[in-house]
Chains A and B, each alone.
Chain A
Amino acid sequence: MNIAAFQTRILTVKSKLYRFAFRLLDNEEEAKDVVQEVFIKVWNGRERMNEIENWEAWCMRITKNLSLDRIRSRQRRATDSMDNHFDIKNESLGPHETTELNESMQRITVYIAALPEKQRQVIHLRDVEGYSYNEICEILELDMNQVKVNLFRARNSVREKLIKTNAYGL
Chain B
Amino acid sequence: MDSKEIEQLVEKYWNCETTLEEEKHLRNFFASEEVPSHLNEPSELFHYFEEQRKKPLSDSTFDSTILRKLKDASPEGKVVKMFYSVAKIAAGFIVVVAAGYLVRQEVRKSYPAEVADTYSDPKLALEETKKALMLISKSFGKAQKEASKIEMFNEAEKAIQGKNEEKKSSSI
Contact surface of A with B, Cβ cutoff 8 Å: 3, 6-7, 11, 14-15, 17-19, 22, 32, 35-36, 39-40, 43-44, 101, 104-105, 108-109, 124, 127-130, 132, 148, 151-152, 155-156, 158-159, 162-163, 166
Contact = CB atoms under 8 A, between A and B. Distances in A.
Most buried by A among B23, B74, B77: B74
B73 A43 contact: yes
A105 B48 contact: yes
Contacts of B65: 36
27 contacts: A3-B67, A3-B70, A6-B70, A11-B63, A14-B62, A18-B57, A19-B55, A32-B57, A32-B59, A36-B66, A40-B70, A40-B73, A44-B74, A44-B77, A101-B51, A104-B47, A105-B47, A108-B48, A109-B48, A127-B45, A132-B20, A152-B15, A152-B16, A155-B14, A159-B41, A159-B42, A166-B41
Contacts of B48: 104-105, 108-109
Contact of A163 (B16, B41, B47): B41
A104 B44 contact: yes
Interface residues of B, number: 33
A20 to B, nearest CB: 11
A57 to B, nearest CB: 15
A128 B122 CA distance: 106
A130 B20 contact: yes
Interface of B: 13-16, 20, 23-24, 40-42, 44-45, 47-49, 51-53, 55-57, 59, 62-63, 65-67, 69-71, 73-74, 77
A132 B63 CA distance: 28
Contacts of A22: 55
A14 B57 contact: yes
A25 to B, nearest CB: 13
A43 B47 CA distance: 36
Contacts of A17: 57
Which 7 interchain pairs have the tightest Cβ spacing?
Answer: A18-B57, A162-B41, A108-B48, A15-B56, A128-B52, A152-B16, A127-B49
